[in-house]
Amino acid sequence: MDDRSDQNADGKAMQAGARLYPVPPFPKQ
């Protein structure tokens, strides 16, 4: 469903952001 797609995209974006920034803009859940 769309929820899975959103979570997968968010996870990839979070990992990419973690590489660019030492602290992500939002806490990991």
Q: What is the DSSP string of 2-22?
A: HHHHHHHHHHHHHHHHHHHSS
**Stretch 11-27: mean pLDDT, rounded?**
64
Is residue 12 pLDDT above 60, yes or no? yes
Question: What pLDDT sits at residue 13?
Answer: 65
- Report the percent of the chain where pLDDT is more than 70: 0
Is residue 8 pLDDT above 60, yes or no? yes
How far apart (Å, rounded) are the C-alpha atoms in residues 6 and 21?
Answer: 21
| Count of residues making up the chain | 29
pTM reported for the whole predicted model: 0.25
**Nearest Cα residue to 29 out of 14, 16, 9, 18:** 14
| Cβ contact 6:14 at 8 Å | no
